[in-house]
Copies of this chain bind each other. A is one copy, B any other.
Amino acid sequence: MKVEVITTGTELLLGEILNTNFTWLAQELNLRGFDVLYQTTVGDNPARMKEVLDIAAGRADIVITSGGLGPTRGDITKELVAEYCGVDMYMNLEVWNHIHDLLSRRNICIASNNEKQALVPSGAIVLHNAVGTAPGLVLEHGSTTFIMLPGPPFELQHVCEQELFPYFEQRFPHLGIIKSHTLKVRGIGESNLAEMLDDIIVHQSNPTIALYARHGEILVRLTAKASSAEEADALIAAMQERVEKIIGPYVYGYDGDTLPEVLGKELLTRKQTIAFAESCTGGLASSLMTDVPGSSEYVKGSVISYTNEVKNLVINVSKTTLSKKGAVSEEAALEMAEGVRNVIGSDMAVSITGLAGPGGGTRRKPVGLVYIAVADENGASCRKYNFTGTRTQIKQRAALTALGLALDRLKEYTAQNDLEETTDDHDADR
């Protein structure tokens, strides 16, 4: 089923509002197996609107309009579609009563132009709009189905979810449904990941697999097409198992999960607290962690040690290290992590020191060079990175990588503990 969505309204053409109606409709329609092939925006002009309707009817099976169902003279969608289909309009009493009730409940005087909203094209199916005065309408004409939806996003979504989508399931049962599931990956580059998954990517059919790099992490999206939600879920689960067998250690979460959330949950589960010593990230890692509600349960505090003086006086990085190795060095990173862990009194501490640029780089220590260290009761370790990008991108990448290293460290010791427990059990068996 080929779909064209026509969004109307001068405010769209003036750039005053983003076309969120189309984005929402596109997601929902694709999910339900429709092929959204065209989207057109046009103003409230009868000649241009008629032309756009004509073109859409010629190339799509389903033409969905949003907007232009209001009570004013400028609202012309319903009138033009009825004219295009050659049908009259009649006053629908059910709609009229609903408008009446809704306006009285809101203490709004009913106006004569509200009558216009109760006019329905002959033969149209009315999609009840419980949250507004303009109902949605379905009108079949030849091989084209016109679907008219109200423009306010809240009303449009309500009418779709309550009326249109159930109608689709009855009317087009053969379309089946589409579901997708996203694996969030960190600690590996996109090209390496693509290489590891090469065999699956090359032979993909249903579910499909796609990689997206975004904000220093990679999304692996699995999308299945099936005749039922259960079947789609089963297809995705089987594919996910195949994928995770290969890249499992790099998967840190799913769908809406964020790294600060996942790390937060791990800390909470283990009753561990964390602190940061930030140099080049300037507070970003701590800020990301504290974006999560309830993070005060595990974030104790941090020190942003932007100068050597603060590194030395506040978190006890030795003057020798700073003068001999420099503030951007493995040694300084390790001392920062251990120092801030002592000063803040946290279970775990992460330090970040590097050059975010654009100035300050040298050949030996170029912009993008960042050392990240993690310290806990088992000691401290440090890794070196060369990030690329603008100053804020380097800050972002370094901060997210730091959270990732903390997560790895937490999991590493759990893995060891699990191993020890298993060994204990084994011993007990003997």
- A contacts, CB < 8 Å to B: 12-20, 22-30, 36-43, 45, 48, 51-52, 55, 59, 106-107, 276, 278, 281-287, 289-291, 293-296, 299-307, 309-310, 313-314, 343-345, 356-360, 388, 391-392, 395
Contacts and interface: CB of A to CB of B under 8 A. Distances in A.
A206 B152 CA distance: 29
B106 A388 contact: yes
A18 B290 CA distance: 28
Contact of A37 (B15, B39, B43, B276): B43
Contact of A306 (B40, B301, B343, B358): B301
Given A287-B282, A293-B358, A345 B23 contact: no
Select the residue from A30, A59, A290, A291 with max chain B CB neighbours within 10 A: A290
A346 B388 CA distance: 31
Contacts of A357: 293
B14 A293 contact: no
Contacts of A294: 359
A23 B27 contact: no
Contacts of A344: 310, 314
Given A23-B15, A25-B15, A282 B303 contact: no
Given A37-B42, A37-B43, A38-B48, 5 more contacts: A15-B25, A38-B52, A282-B286, A290-B306, A300-B306
A9 B136 CA distance: 29
A37 B48 contact: yes
Nearest to A357: B293
Contact of A291 (B23, B42, B59, B395): B395
B309 A345 contact: yes
Contacts of A23: 15, 17-19
B26 A13 contact: yes
Contacts of A285: 283
A17 B212 CA distance: 13
Contacts of A282: 283, 286-287, 289-291, 295, 299
Contacts of A356: 290
Given A23-B19, A26-B14, A302 B300 contact: no
B306 A304 contact: no
Interface core residue of A40, A294, A313, A356 (most chain B CB under 10 Å): A40
A301 B304 contact: yes
B19 A24 contact: no
Q: Among the interface residues A27, A304, A309, A391, which one has the most CB atoms of the partner chain B within 10 A?
A: A304
The CB with the most chain B CB atoms within 10 A, among A59, A278, A359, is that of: A278
Given A13-B36, A307-B300, A283 B290 contact: yes
A41 B38 contact: yes
Nearest to A291: B392
B30 A12 contact: no
A192 to B, nearest CB: 15
Nearest to A106: B388
A155 to B, nearest CB: 14
B19 A291 contact: no
A14 B360 CA distance: 43
